[in-house]
Amino acid sequence: MTEEQTQQDEPVEEQEQAEGGGDEVAALEDRLLRLAAEFDNYKKRAARERTEYLTLANERLIELLPILDDLERALVAAAEHEEAQLEEGVRLVHRSLASLLERQGVQAIDTTGRFDPHVHEALLSQPSDAEEGSVLDVIQKGYKLGERVVRPARVVVAAAPTEREGDG
């Protein structure tokens, strides 16, 4: 081969490489556009699912409607001063709400025995003959949802009895 033929072949090879590179660039651009479209679809789907979850969660509130009805009946009985019906109405509301919460996995926290800082909140320490650190009284019931404490039980805890100076 002469030097002229070699110089003529080089631009042809460079041109072929450039055309091959152009195909690669086009393929990468196509891939990029597809990924962008897939990501956009993913964002739209995620937003739609989030809206659906909120709607479903709010639909569960419908289960509270019978309890609201029971409470309204209790209020009507209270307005008519029918104490027995009022008490029964309030008990009915309490039972209904407790049952609904139980079906949803909400459990009352046990307050018998010793104080447990993981599930109890001590509001007061009171001298007592009971064992030190035991729960004397419950100010507000606590609840768990599954194993997670959603509200600790607020309790009064027994302290050691104080010695009186006048005794003895």
- Whats the size of the chain, residue-wise? 168
pTM score, two decimals? 0.54
- Written as six digits, the tokens of 110 are 């046990």
Mean pLDDT lowest for which of 49-58, 99-108, 146-155?
Answer: 49-58
Distances, alpha carbon 77 to alpha carbons 30, 65, 92, 93, 98, in Å = 72, 19, 13, 13, 22
Distances, alpha carbon 105 to alpha carbons 2, 7, 89, 146, in Å = 89, 82, 25, 6
Rounded CA separation 23/16 (Å): 11
Domains 1-104 and 107-168 in one fold = no
**In the prediction, which pLDDT does 77 show?**
75
The whole-number average pLDDT for the span 137-150 is: 87
**Domain covering 107-168 assigned CATH 2.30.22.10 in the classification:** yes
81 conformational bin, left if phi > 0, alpha if psi -120 to 50, beta if neither: left
The residue ranges of every structural domain in the chain are 1-104, 107-168
The whole-number average pLDDT for the span 12-33 is: 75
Residue-wise pLDDT tens digits, 48-92: 998 888 777 766 766 776 777 777 777 777 777 767 777 787 888
CATH of 1-104, one of 1.10.3470, 1.10.540, 3.90.20, 1.25.40: 3.90.20
